Amino acid sequence: MPNYYPDPNKNPYRVSREPVRQPVAEKVSSTNVDFDTQRICPSCGKLIKISHNFCKFCGVDLSSIPALGESDKTLKALSVAALTDLDYEVRKDAIASLEELGGKEILGVFTYVLLNDLHELVRKEAADKLGNIHNPISLDILTKALKDKSPLVRKAAIEALKKIKKMNKPPQPEPLAKKEEQPRKQEIKQEQQIEAESKNEVNDDNEDDDNEDTAPPLKEIEPSDDDMYRF
């Protein structure tokens, strides 16, 4: 009787080992930002309506910072790539491109990345760019980044804070001694000029006196021999 149940050990299609599984793509932030209706607060990283000029979470004034939704399509596309691309290197490069092409409107993107990205190199890149832009509104978020679990991010946050403090340092008032020193120098210079002019006048008078003393004497008229014998 034929055997209709072949030996499974002799199955030529039997897999002897488990297939190699493809690596799962890195997870990124699940929050998708609609830049046409939303904006990211550059101070706290929260999402608010694009029409709001004040953040309802931290209360910072955003009237001087334009919303990204009002900019061109290139900045929007780069911002989406920086927030959602599965490759961390692409996100990192997108952040670098945003710094070159954008202005204050991209601060919110860097803030959001610094708070939410899962890769330390991407967060470090965001901290570096915040330091390069050196806007004081980024001080709070960089202070929070000092507690980041990555030492690279913490170090980048420290350097960024130094840059912002240095670039926004108010001018130091000139010491009072230096302020008084300059007018005093001018007075001394004027006094020296007056003294020099007076000396020149005295020298001119002395020269006139010398010329009078050295004038040739009048020639004496001696009597001639004829005058002696004239009666």
Condensed to tens digits (0 to 9), the pLDDT of residues 67-82 reads: 998 888 999 999 999 9
Q: How far apart are CA 170 and CA 176, in angstroms?
A: 18
Confidence of residue 21 (pLDDT cuts 50, 70, 90): low
- Domain 38-167 belongs to what topology? Leucine-rich Repeat Variant (1.25.10)
Q: What is the pLDDT of residues 33-88, one digit of tens each?
A: 899 999 999 999 999 999 999 999 999 999 999 999 888 899 999 999 999 999 99
Neighbouring CB atoms inside 10 A of 119's CB total: 17
Neighbouring CB atoms inside 10 A of 228's CB total: 7
Query: How do the domains of the chain map onto residue ranges?
Result: 38-167
SS3 73: helix
